[in-house]
């Protein structure tokens, strides 16, 4: 017997995405902070709150909008449709989402505008390089195998690991990244541990 919550989440998939991201994004921040070797009492809960706010109020609606538009323009789950959606997503939504992440999260940290811009300039390219090695496969699975009403939750689950990586990149010193910006992003990830 469906509960009231499941009925609401079925009727309004955006709310389901927002609820999912309000949990997954702060969890990703906690995972990243754990890798920083924080003790339980040393977690930055305000950082987690910023991730929850950004994930639920910005990422979920923008992702939902993108997936809805993509499904209208290129309906269906064929391989051809999936390839088109994946290519368009990789060159449009992905850069938009990453730039928004670094810029808005910097502003949520009360950094001045010029620092937010500097962080985008330093961290966007290494992050984008990593994204294009991972997300096209996930996007193809999403577009070809997952029903439209379950696409945001599927991407949410996949993004737990990705968002932990974003949290890691967000809290790297931008000077380290600027020096290593021509380095393979996998080597950059290994070199900083």
119-164 pLDDT, tens per residue?
A: 999 999 999 999 999 988 888 888 788 887 787 778 778 888 899 9
Task: State which residues of the chain have pLDDT below 70.
Answer: 1-2, 5, 38-41, 174-193
Distances (CA, A) of 55 to 94, 103, 157: 15, 14, 13
Q: Report if residue 1 sits inside a domain.
A: no
Q: Report if residue 62 sits inside a domain.
A: yes
In the three-class reduction of DSSP (H, G, I as helix; E, B as strand; rest coil), residue 193 is classed as coil
109-129 pLDDT, tens per residue?
A: 999 999 999 999 999 999 999
d(CA 153, CA 7): 16
Length of the chain: 193
Q: Report if residue 142 sits inside a domain.
A: yes
Helix axes 113-145, 151-170, angle to 10 degrees: 150
Rounded CA Rg of the chain? 17
- In terms of Cα–Cα distance, which of 129, 122, 137 is closest to 186? 129
Note the pLDDT of residue 73: 92
Note the pLDDT of residue 28: 93
Q: What does the DSSP 8-state code read for residue 74?
A: S
Note the pLDDT of residue 177: 62
* Spatial contact of 18 and 60, defined as CB atoms under 8 Å apart: yes
- In terms of Cα–Cα distance, which of 35, 19, 18, 22 is closest to 165? 35
Q: Report if residue 112 sits inside a domain.
A: yes
Domains identified in the chain, total number: 1
Q: Report if residue 3 sits inside a domain.
A: no
Question: Domain limits at 112?
Answer: 13-191
Q: Report if residue 54 sits inside a domain.
A: yes
Measured in whole angstroms, the distance separating CA 79 from the mean position of its chain's CA atoms is 24
């Amino acid at each position: 017997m469906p509960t009231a919550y499941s009925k609401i989440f079925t009727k309004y998939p955006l709310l389901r995405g927002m609820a999912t991201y309000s949990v997954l994004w702060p969890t990703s921040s906690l995972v990243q902070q754990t890798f920083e070797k924080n003790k339980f009492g040393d977690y930055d809960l305000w950082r987690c709150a910023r991730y929850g706010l950004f994930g639920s109020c910005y990422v979920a609606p923008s992702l939902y909008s993108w997936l809805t538009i993509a499904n209208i323009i290129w309906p269906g789950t064929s391989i051809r449709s999936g390839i088109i959606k994946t290519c368009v997503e990789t060159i449009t939504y992905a850069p938009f989402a990453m730039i928004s992440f670094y810029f808005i999260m910097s502003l949520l940290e009360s950094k001045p505008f010029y620092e937010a811009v500097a962080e985008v300039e330093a961290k966007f390219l290494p992050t984008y390089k990593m994204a294009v090695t991972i997300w096209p496969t996930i996007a193809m699975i999403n577009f070809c195998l997952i029903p439209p009403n379950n696409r945001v939750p599927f991407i949410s689950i996949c993004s737990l690991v990705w968002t932990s990586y974003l949290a890691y990149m967000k809290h790297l010193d931008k000077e380290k990244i600027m020096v290593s910006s021509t380095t393979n992003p996998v080597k950059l990830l290994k070199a900083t541990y």
